[in-house]
Amino acid sequence: MSGRDSVQIPDDRDFGAFRAECESERGWSLTYSKGGVGVWVQLLEPERALHKIKCRMECRDVPAETLYDVLHDIEYRKKWDTNVIETFDIGRLTANSDVGYYAWRCPKPLKNRDVVTLRSWLPMGSDYIIMNYSVKHPKYPPRKDMVRAVSIQTGYLIEGTGAKSCTITYLAQVDPKGSLPKWVVNKSSQFLAPKVSLWRWGGSGVGARGLFAHLPLPSQAMKKMYKACLKYPEWKQKHDPHFKPWLFPEQSRLPALALSELSLQHADSLENIDESSLAESKEDRGEGSDEDSLT
């Protein structure tokens, strides 16, 4: 799907190819492994920092279907994702695909980022796939107060490993936008290979919409999501417990969208923002806490 030349809804071959890449080891370099979390990178074009990143985490005490729900539930995301500025679904394409908007905070003084993506999902028994890529919607052009990020291909493979356990693999191909300061690179270089650490500012958020860019490091992003999963069943019981349009499409309240309303979002067509000379603000030097209010 990353080589697409028009807006298309992924089919079974696309989902199969995505799963195969998630499970492949060829061409990937392990750059972090600790606490059940692994991070791999694959450098494609060093001069452009164009690369792929893959993260995998073991989730004990979290059923695959719970993790799948957490990645989909936009209202719950607003509770646990403290970096979100604004997120909403724009419209429905099919029973298992939609288009949405996500904006998030970046460390000061960098400009905040946003993204518009076409998202598709596929349940496969105890396994699930969610994928997205950037598109353009005429009613949601790039904003002057944001840097429009680009997801070439981002997604999740959730695999059930037991009644109350699963693994999640996150895979993304990113074309970073903007020239970034050295402190951004250095802050993540201890976990990611040189020249590829820019990924964390070039994409979207930790939920089903996109990347982990708004969080300090991939491992912390994974652990933050894991904690949210543990608290989700109790939260959902108090908040419209039977409303899950990602499982029951007849519940969807989104307006219908036609593919003809969309076009591909190419990174080259977006303004390149030079932030390379910006200094890190004092309040963003710490990594922050994972303890969020989920009540």
Instruction: Tell me if residue 6 falls in helix, strand or coil.
Output: coil
Taking only the tens place, the pLDDT of each residue in 109-143 is 777 888 899 999 999 999 999 999 999 999 999 99
Mean pLDDT of 231-252: 97
148 in any annotated domain: yes
Regarding predicted confidence, which is higher, 108 or 15?
Answer: 15
22 in any annotated domain: yes
Q: Is the pLDDT confidence value at 253 over 50?
A: yes
- For the chain, what is the domain count? 1
Mean pLDDT of 162-189: 68
276 in any annotated domain: no
Helix (H), strand (E) at residue 99: strand 97-104
| Backbone angles phi and psi of 61, in degrees to 5 | 65, 20
CA distances from 242 to 91, 96, 192, 245 (A): 21, 18, 40, 9
Distance CA 9, CA 143 (A): 26
224 in any annotated domain: yes
Report CA torsion sign: 17, 4, 117, 97: negative
Give the pLDDT band of residue 281 (cuts 50, 70, 90). low
Q: Is the pLDDT confidence value at 60 over 90?
A: yes
> Residues for the chain: how many in total?
295
Distance CA 22, CA 12 (A): 15
Average pLDDT over the chain reads 79
When computed from its CA atoms, the radius of gyration of the chain, rounded to whole angstroms, is 18
Give the pLDDT band of residue 94 (cuts 50, 70, 90). very high
Calculate helix-pair angle for 218-237, 64-72, nearest 10 degrees.
Answer: 90
5 in any annotated domain: no
121 in any annotated domain: yes
Spell out the residues 6+ positions from residue 97 whose beta carbon is closer than 8 angstroms to its own: 9, 10, 118, 119, 120, 121
Q: Identify the CATH number of the domain in which residue 90 sits.
A: 3.30.530.20
What global pTM score does this model have? 0.81
pLDDT at 254: 96
Mean pLDDT of 165-173: 91
Mean pLDDT of 14-43: 89
Q: Is the pLDDT confidence value at 249 over 90?
A: yes
148 near 142, Cβ under 8 Å? yes
Q: What is the domain range of residue 19?
A: 12-193+212-264
272 in any annotated domain: no
Taking only the tens place, the pLDDT of each residue in 177-232 is 555 555 554 444 333 333 233 333 333 344 444 333 333 345 677 788 899 999 99
Mean pLDDT of 4-10: 87
16 in any annotated domain: yes
